Chains A and B, each alone.
Chain A
Amino acid sequence: EAGVTQSPTHLIKTRGQQATLRCSPISGHTSVYWYQQALGLGLQFLLWYDEGEERNRGNFPPRFSGRQFPNYSSELNVNALELEDSALYLCASSFQGADYGYTFGSGTRLTVV
């Protein structure tokens, strides 16, 4: 069974540009979560999608947005990139419900120059 896959692995963008990150959850998982992990720091919750809808978002500006497609894959968009957006962006998926652990992808390393 394939795990959570994220693409691209690495992404280099210039300040002010837009970045699009993609995530495919484990088959059968309907919930997708996005986290930001700045270098050497913890995981900051960005967004949660389930059944195609945004269920919750963390304390990030509106230029961080995303969507979930009918096949449950998801996309994270970051507009007007700033230098401090440089981080590892992790996607995780799970079954919907409070009793399941998250399976994380390997992440997309975004570097803004």
Chain B
Amino acid sequence: GQQVMQIPQYQHVQEGEDFTTYCNSSTTLSNIQWYKQRPGGHPVFLIQLVKSGEVKKQKRLTFQFGEAKKNSSLHITATQTTDVGTYFCAARRFSGGYNKLIFGAGTRLAVHP
């Protein structure tokens, strides 16, 4: 079945440094979503990317969808301690029928002040 590979598994940065997590699929994706889960919390929807090559920004967060719609990235500029958590990408099958999301394993971000 479709798998979504997410790297790195874990990232440890100093506050103020940048952070990037990558999501890759062997199949073309119809869209991709990103979620953030704070420690002890539940996943919270951040954004959805649909178009090939799409770039969206949310303050210090930049989300990209690859031209081939097989990969995506989330980049955080100048991390803050509030960015701590696990970031998940999630993708749907390209062909219709399903409405379930396949989640990547997540990237756990630790930010040290």
List residues of chain A with CB under 8 Å of any chain B CB.
31, 33, 35, 41-43, 45, 48, 50, 55-56, 58, 90, 92, 96-99, 101-107
Contacts and interface: CB of A to CB of B under 8 A. Distances in A.
Interface residues of B, number: 23
Nearest to B31: A98
Q: Main SS of the interface on chain B? A: loop
Contact of A45 (B44, B88, B101, B106): B101
A106 B42 contact: yes
Nearest to A105: B42
A28 B30 CA distance: 24
B99 A43 contact: no
B59 interface: no
Contacts of A92: 43
A42 B88 contact: yes
A28 to B, nearest CB: 16
Given A41-B105, A104-B43, A96 B99 contact: yes
B100 A42 contact: no
Contacts of B48: 99, 101
Interface of B: 30-31, 33, 35, 41-45, 48, 50, 88, 92, 96, 98-106
Contacts of A33: 100-101
Given A56-B98, A99-B31, A99-B48, A42 B42 contact: no
Contacts of B104: 42
Contacts of A101: 33, 35, 45, 48
Contact of B42 (A41, A48, A98, A104): A104
Give me the 4 closest cross-chain CB pairs, A-B, nearest first.
A101-B45, A42-B105, A43-B103, A104-B42
Contacts of A104: 42-44
22 contacts: A31-B99, A35-B103, A42-B88, A42-B105, A42-B106, A43-B43, A45-B100, A45-B101, A45-B103, A48-B99, A48-B100, A55-B100, A56-B100, A92-B43, A98-B99, A99-B48, A99-B50, A102-B33, A102-B45, A102-B101, A104-B43, A106-B42
Contacts of A35: 103
